[in-house]
Structure 1
Amino acid sequence: MEDINCTQKALDAFAKLEADGYSVGIALQAYLTRTYDDIVPLQARKSRMRICKGIYAEASEHLVDGASRDRAAINAHFVRHVSSTIQAGSFVGIATHDAQLIDALTKWLQRERIDRSRFEFQMLLGVCEPMRNALLAQGFNVGVYVPYGHDWYGYSTRRIKENPRIAGYIIAAMLHRNRAR
C-alpha cells in the first residue's frame, strides 16, 4: 500500500480482482483511522489481508491518536486489526520488524491457539534476520518481502525518503550481512 492518496484506488482494484475470482490480498495500514472502516467489509468477505504499521508521512487528521507523536501508539491498533481479522476468519500477513509487537502477538497467538495456517509474519529481505530466524525456529510461518521489478529502486528509495528510520535497519542489515561472509 502506498500513501493515503492511493488507498481507495487500491481497495477498489482489490475488490474487483477478488470479485473476478483472483487469489489476491490487500495491505492495510494500522496508523490510518480509515482502516477501521476499510477492514469491516474485507473481514465479512474473509479477504486475505496484510497488516502493516504504515510508513508514509501523512497529515495528522488521517492518523490514529498518538501516531504522529509516538510510533508505539500504533501498536495497539496493529494488534486490534490483526486479532479481529484472524477472529473474522481471514488469513492475515503480520508485517512488522518491531520486536515488542512480535513478542506480544506471538504470545496472543499461542494463548488463543490460533492455527498457524491462518497467518504468517512478513519481513523485508535482509532486515532483522535474527528475529526472522527466531520466529522460524518457533515454528511460525514467515514470508520474506522482496522489492523487485522495473521500479524496485524507486520504490525502495521512496520508502527511505518517507521514513528515514528504516534506512538504519537497511544499513545495519547490510553491515551484518558483510560481517557474516
Structure 2
Amino acid sequence: MLKDIFMGLSQNQLLNSAAKKYGLKMGAQSVVAGTNIPEVIKSIKELNAQGISCTVDNLGEFVFKEEEATAAKEQILQVIEAIHENQVDAHISLKPTQVGLDIDYTFCLNNVREIVDKASQYQMFINIDMEDFKHLELTFNLLDDLSLEYDNVGTVIQAYFHNALEYVERYKNYRIRLVKGAYKESDEIAYQDKKDIDANYIKLIEWHLLNGKFTSIATHDHRIINHVKEFVKRNDISKDKYEFQMLYGFRKELQLKLASEGYNFCTYVPFGNDWYGYFMRRLAERPQNLNLVAKQVFNKKTNTIIGVAAGAFLLGRLTTTKDKKKKRK
C-alpha cells in the first residue's frame, strides 16, 4: 500500500508543478545536489575529495513537447562541458523520456546521439537510465543504435523483471548498472515479493561479475553489499571490474566506508528543480528510505504537503473502488 501511494504521487503532474514552486525549500536539498550546474559541480568536487566518483542526472519529468526535450538536451550538454572544464570525476545518466522518447523515437535518438557524441570527445561515459516497462524495448533500441557508432554508452537492467537475466546476457559486453527496480509493474512481467526480487538481483550481479564487461551494483542494502564482497573475494574478481553505487544523500557513512576500503564507488547525483517524481520513486522503491532521510528531509511543511497529497491519493483510490463496486451491483 505504501509503495502504491508513493508511485501514485510520483506520477501526479499537479503536485510535481507545486514542488517546483517550493523548490528545495521543502527539504529535498538532502537528496538533490542543487538546482543549477555550479551547485552540482560543487557537490561533485566534495564527493571526489572523499574518493567517490559521480554520475549526474539532470532531473526532468513529463516531457511531451519538443522544445522542452531540446532544452533538456542543451542542459545536459552544458553539464558535460562543466564536468570537462572543472576536471571532476563524473559522467552522465539520462532518461530517454526527458529528451523526447514519448514524442518521437528518431527525435529522441538524435538528441541522445548529440549527447553521446559530445561526451565521447572527452572520453566520458553516458548511462541511459531505464524507466518503466512500456519504455524498456525502446530504450534498448536506443542503446543498440548508438552502439553502432559509439562505445561510451551503457544502460540499466532492473532485477524485478522475470526475464532480467536475458537482458543481462544480451548486454554482457556493456557497462551495465544493476538495480532492483523502482516502477510499479504487473505481476505478469515483474516479481512483486521483496525476497524474489533480492534473489534475482543477486543472481544478476553474480552472473555479470563473472561474464560481463563492467558491473555497477546500485543498492543501499548492506546485506547484498556484504554478499558481493564475499563473492568477488571468493572468485578473485578484480576491483576494476565493478563498482558500488548509491543515491546522493542516502547512507552517507556507508558510502564513505566503501570508498575508504578501496572499492570503486559512484554516487548518483541528481540536480534541478524537477526533483519531485524522482524523490517519490525513491520512497516507493524502498520504504526504508523514509528512515534514511526522515531526520534530514522532513520538516513540518514537507509533512503537511506529502500528508495531504497521500490522503488525496488514498481518497481517490477509495472513491474509485466504491465506484467499481457500484457498477458491479
TM value normalised by structure 1: 0.83
Match of 2:248 in 1: 125
Report deviation, 1:132: 1.1
SS in 2 for 1:127: coil
Task: Decide which of 1, 9, 14 is 2:143's aligned counterpart.
Answer: 14
Kindly provide the CA deviation profile for residues 36-83 of structure 1, in whole angstroms up to 9, marking residues without a partner as x: 22222211xx111000011211111111xxx413x1322221121112
SS in 1 for 2:270: coil
Task: Decide which of 172, 177, 182 is 1:50's aligned counterpart.
Answer: 177
Distance verdict in 2 for CA 1:31–1:86, change over 3 Å? same
Matched letter for residue 141 of structure 2? D
Matched letter for residue 156 of structure 1? Y
SS in 2 for 1:28: strand
Match of 1:29 in 2: 158
Note the 1:19-168 alignment, pairs <5 A.
19-43=148-172, 46-63=173-190, 67-69=191-193, 71-149=194-272, 151=274, 153-160=275-282, 162-163=284-285, 165=287, 166-168=289-291
Q: Give the conservation status (yes or no) of the 8 Å contact 1:96–1:121.
A: yes
Distance in 2 between the 1:17 and 1:172 partners? 42
Report deviation, 1:155: 3.9
TM value normalised by structure 2: 0.48
Distance in 2 between the 1:8 and 1:22 partners? 20
Match of 1:178 in 2: none
Regions of 4+ moved over 2 Å? 148-151, 160-164, 166-175
Report deviation, 1:163: 3.5
Match of 2:294 in 1: 171
90-99 vs 17-26, greater mean Cα deviation: 17-26
Unpaired runs of at least 5, structure 2: 1-129, 299-329
Distance verdict in 2 for CA 1:142–1:13, change over 3 Å? same
Kindly provide the CA deviation profile for residues 131-172 of structure 1, in whole angstroms up to 9, marking residues without a partner as x: 112211221111000112564x14424414644613433335
Q: How much is the aligned-residue C-alpha RMSD, in angstroms?
A: 2.0
Unpaired runs of at least 5, structure 1: 176-181
156-165 vs 138-147, greater mean Cα deviation: 156-165
82-91 vs 118-127, greater mean Cα deviation: 82-91
Larger Rg, first or second structure (1 or 2):
2
Kindly indicate which of the two structures has a greater share of residues assigned to helix: 2
Matched letter for residue 33 of structure 1? H
SS in 2 for 1:147: strand
Matched letter for residue 148 of structure 2? A
Matched letter for residue 238 of structure 2? D
Distance in 1 between the 2:238 and 2:154 partners? 19
Distance verdict in 2 for CA 1:158–1:22, change over 3 Å? farther
Matched letter for residue 145 of structure 1? Y
Distance in 1 between the 2:286 and 2:233 partners? 34
Comparing both chains, which one has the higher relative contact order based on Cα–Cα distances under 8 Å and sequence gaps of 6 or more?
Answer: 2
Distance verdict in 2 for CA 1:133–1:91, change over 3 Å? same
Q: Give the conservation status (yes or no) of the 8 Å contact 1:147–1:155.
A: no
